[in-house]
Amino acid sequence: MQPSSHGAESSVSPEEIARFGALAEKWWDPSGPMRPLHAMNALRIDWACRHLPLQGQHSRRVRVLDIGCGAGLASEALAKAGHDVLGLDASPNGIQAGRAHLENNPLPDGSGPLAYRVGSAEELVTEQRKFDAVIALEIIEHVTDPEQFMAMLSDLVEPGGVVIVSTMNRTLKSLAVGKIGAEYLLRLLPVGTHTWRKFITPAELGRYARHANLSIQAIAGMVPSLSGWKESRNLDVNYIAAFRKL
């Protein structure tokens, strides 16, 4: 991978890329190892779409970069919502699975265009690519340097554009529920999916954003319920935040 303007070759470690790449073939199975993402995806996408710019700078479509897209669970949903989406992931297996799913399940009429690319955020920064919105869902807790990662997200969005990040808070509750419970007790996720000490508190995320010339616009918790995941004021475990580029 090409070096970035931030002095790193890749924001995600090869071990993390390999771990999620190994799950690519089962990514679209709602009962498989990615079932928590399937369960929360409707909430994530609805919340994100409510906080995107009303239209892109160059057209009525919002140009969205979905970083760490895996096999495209969020990318497809964003395209179905009418946006112009590029799904980016460092795992060739993930991108291959995303392309295969798109080929076998064409987007309905009225969807925006969707393309996939194998690569890193650093490569797009080097190419001076800019988007109306950059979305990073459940990825920042897996990167090598979250502050540098937020700076790259800022570099990739147009002035006045939006950066949306979802992640997990570093609390005792998230250790019990998001790590021990999800991986070891309920087996909702493969063991080793998360490292609790790499979870990001809202205060830390806010500080990284300010350093990256991003202003917070909204933040909400995401909690499971009997009827599916719902928006909440409770930020103890999962949360999502929107920032505007100054």
Annotated binding-site ranges for S-adenosyl-L-methionine: 44, 68, 89, 137
Q: Give burial (CB, 10 Å; 0-12/13-18/19+) of 160.
A: exposed
Assess contact for 89 and 95: CB atoms under 8 A. Answer: yes
Q: What angle do CA 71, 139, 226 make, to 5 degrees?
A: 80
Q: Is 70 left (phi over 0), alpha (psi -120 to 50) or beta?
A: left
Residue 241 C-alpha from the chain's centroid: 11
Cβ contact 175:196 at 8 Å:
yes
Q: How far, in whole angstroms, is CA 31 from its chain's centroid?
A: 20
Q: What is the dihedral of CA 77, 155, 222, 76, to 10 degrees?
A: 10
